[in-house]
Structure 1
Amino acid sequence: MKAAVIGCNGYIGKHLSLFLQQQGWEVYGYGKKPTCDLNISGYTSLDIQLKSDFDRFDTQVDYVFYFSGITGTAAAYNTYENYIDVNEKGLLHLLNKVRTASQKPRIVFPSSRLVYKGVANTLLSEDAEKEFKTIYALNKWFGEQVVQQFSNYFDVPFSIFRICVPYGNLFADSYSYGTIGFFLTKAKAGEPITLFGEGEPKRTFTHVEDICLQIYHALSKEGSVNNTLNISGETFSLKEVAEQIAAKYSVTVEFKDWPKMDASLESGDTIFDGSRISQLIQKPLKNSFQTWLQSI
């Protein structure tokens, strides 16, 4: 199999590139940096904001993993042009290139928990009610809708994987992305971990290796073609995770009142129903949060 990974220097894109290469795939990376962080089959520097840069994109692959983008919440209101140019126009540049290919590769698009309306203590299936509280959430929903449109109108196949909270690392260091990364940075520095409110919101946490495994195995199943799948994982409240990390590093967890903006942006519980992907691939999670935390 041949795969193009756009965003191969990013957190999940880098892990996917390594993982696919370990499975014997030919992996061709694309990113804005002049060089690639990995030793892969080939690397091309490409700015997804520039339509002309996609003249250098080779469509002769089986899959295109679009894992490039800008994340964030309130920050997007100050730099909204970048969020639109990178997260929306960049994807359209790719799709416009792929739709004219003689053999169209499948687009693999990562979406987010932030497209869901959070519901307390409730598993959210792929068809659960949606709500968009941030520009980034709208970017992700735009991405989901536009890859479906290109499938309907131009026969470009796709698979969408919604990811809740990733953590862990398969490389030399123990850095974790996002929520867990923030907690670890504080704890390792000997500082208290801070949470808003009482840390009650619940999330589905998935080790990055399990994200790669689920995507890889699901892609080989017919049920993943032109379909949307939640990545499965383990459910914890933010408080539970923070307290476990704090205990390991002998720091405390402190609680602060919600700032007005953050309270408005908070989604509440986003607990994934992973039954669709679990039934498709029938493979248990390889990693658990507690085991991973003990190992770092």
Structure 2
Amino acid sequence: MKKAIVFGANGYLGRHIAYYLTQQKINFIPTDLAEQSIDNYLNYTSIDITKPEEMHQINYEVDCVFMFAGLTGSTNTPEMEKKYTKVNEQGLMNVLNCCKGIKNLRLIFPSTRLVYQGIKNTPLKENSAKETKTIYAKNKLACEKILADYQLQYHINYTIFRIGVPYGNLINEEYSYGTIGFFINQAKKNNNITLYGDGSLKRTFTHVSDICEVIIKSVGIEKTINNIYNIGSNDDLSLFEVASLIASKYNASVELIDWTKEALAVESGDTIFDDEKIQAAFNYPYQYSLKEWVEKTL
């Protein structure tokens, strides 16, 4: 890979992909919706991916397009469904339409654990049963199909990575993102870390460095083209285990609370990843342990 485009370069994962490309001295064009680059990239371009007329501001003659722009969340209102679908699905199609006819281009797309039907204490393979309980999850699964359809019709190659619960920050000391960010911010404020039910739900927790390493290494491996992969980790842990690790670091407590109707309706159950497929493509030893990260970083 010599040249790339990063959509969503101001977001958590996109920002880290851009960071890795910079470290490896790979030329790339960073773009996002905001007027300015959060990391002050001089060649940053502001693009609204929902507007086809804005898409041609950049040159798509690249080796790789990292499509990390989009909306995330668990809101399930009709108004938000329209907004999410416009950004996540139509936005992807607008990017793909700009990639038509470009030889040897590959689009990298991050999907989510939320496309799976969770099974208690059971590692999920890429072909495990699917169940989408949020608009965001429905968008992601629809985007996976859109990528496959465009590959068949227009020969645009892709690789999809399903990601569990990411954590860590290589750029600054902010930890506001997702599950881990919520736990840390609660503990720092001397509040109890609250968990629904008994806290036994399990997730695969993956450091953002391992996520980026797997994604970028895959670009150089031909067998990963037009495939879907789970990204694993060293840590398949319950929410209670993780909350307890963080709480002990800040002398906070973990509080178990009753499920709300709304939270239970969108809960996917245990989502533990089987990463045998990606390990068969190229053996990647995960570098991070959540317990060590909590002890050494926080």
- Residue identity in the other structure for 2:255: E
The superposition leaves residues 45-103 of structure 1 with CA deviations (integer Å, 9 ceiling, x where unpaired) of 1001111111213211100000011111135544222101111111111111111x343
Note the 1:16-165 alignment, pairs <5 A.
Answer: 16-40=17-41, 42-99=43-100, 101-103=101-103, 105-165=105-165
Question: How many residue pairs end up in the alignment?
Answer: 295
Whether the aligned pair in 2 keeps the contact of 1:109 and 1:159 (CA below 8 Å) is yes
Q: Which residue of 1 aligns with 2:268?
A: 267
Whether the aligned pair in 1 keeps the contact of 2:110 and 2:163 (CA below 8 Å) is yes
SS in 2 for 1:42: coil
> Hey, what's the Cα distance between the residues in 1 that align with 2:192 and 2:269?
23
- Residue identity in the other structure for 1:175: Y
Moved over 3 A (4+): 75-78
Tell me the TM-score normalised to structure 1 length: 0.96
- Residue identity in the other structure for 1:190: N
Unpaired stretches in structure 1, ≥5 consecutive residues: none
Q: Which residue of 1 aligns with 2:192?
A: 192
- Residue identity in the other structure for 2:265: S
> Hey, what's the Cα distance between the residues in 2 that align with 1:41 and 1:34?
12
Q: Which residue of 1 aligns with 2:216?
A: 216
- Residue identity in the other structure for 1:188: K
- Residue identity in the other structure for 1:204: T
Whether the aligned pair in 2 keeps the contact of 1:59 and 1:104 (CA below 8 Å) is no
How large is the RMSD of aligned CA atoms in angstroms? 1.3
Cα drift, residue 263 of structure 1: 0.8
- Per the alignment, do residues 285 and 102 of structure 1 end up closer, same or farther by CA in structure 2, a change over 3 Å counting? closer
Unpaired stretches in structure 2, ≥5 consecutive residues: none
- Residue identity in the other structure for 2:141: W
Q: Which residue of 2 aligns with 1:289?
A: 290
SS in 2 for 1:74: coil
Q: Which residue of 2 aligns with 1:178?
A: 178
Cα drift, residue 174 of structure 1: 3.9
> Hey, what's the Cα distance between the residues in 1 that align with 2:248 and 2:102?
56
Tell me the TM-score normalised to structure 2 length: 0.96
The superposition leaves residues 109-146 of structure 1 with CA deviations (integer Å, 9 ceiling, x where unpaired) of 10000110000100101011111111111100011000
Note the 1:204-243 alignment, pairs <5 A.
Answer: 204-233=204-233, 234-243=235-244
> Hey, what's the Cα distance between the residues in 1 that align with 2:152 and 2:106?
13
Determine what percentage of the aligned residue pairs are the same residue: 42
Whether the aligned pair in 1 keeps the contact of 2:76 and 2:134 (CA below 8 Å) is no
Cα drift, residue 277 of structure 1: 1.1
SS in 1 for 2:88: helix
Whether the aligned pair in 2 keeps the contact of 1:115 and 1:132 (CA below 8 Å) is yes
- Per the alignment, do residues 114 and 70 of structure 1 end up closer, same or farther by CA in structure 2, a change over 3 Å counting? same
> Hey, what's the Cα distance between the residues in 1 that align with 2:51 and 2:5?
18
Cα drift, residue 291 of structure 1: 1.2
Whether the aligned pair in 2 keeps the contact of 1:76 and 1:136 (CA below 8 Å) is no
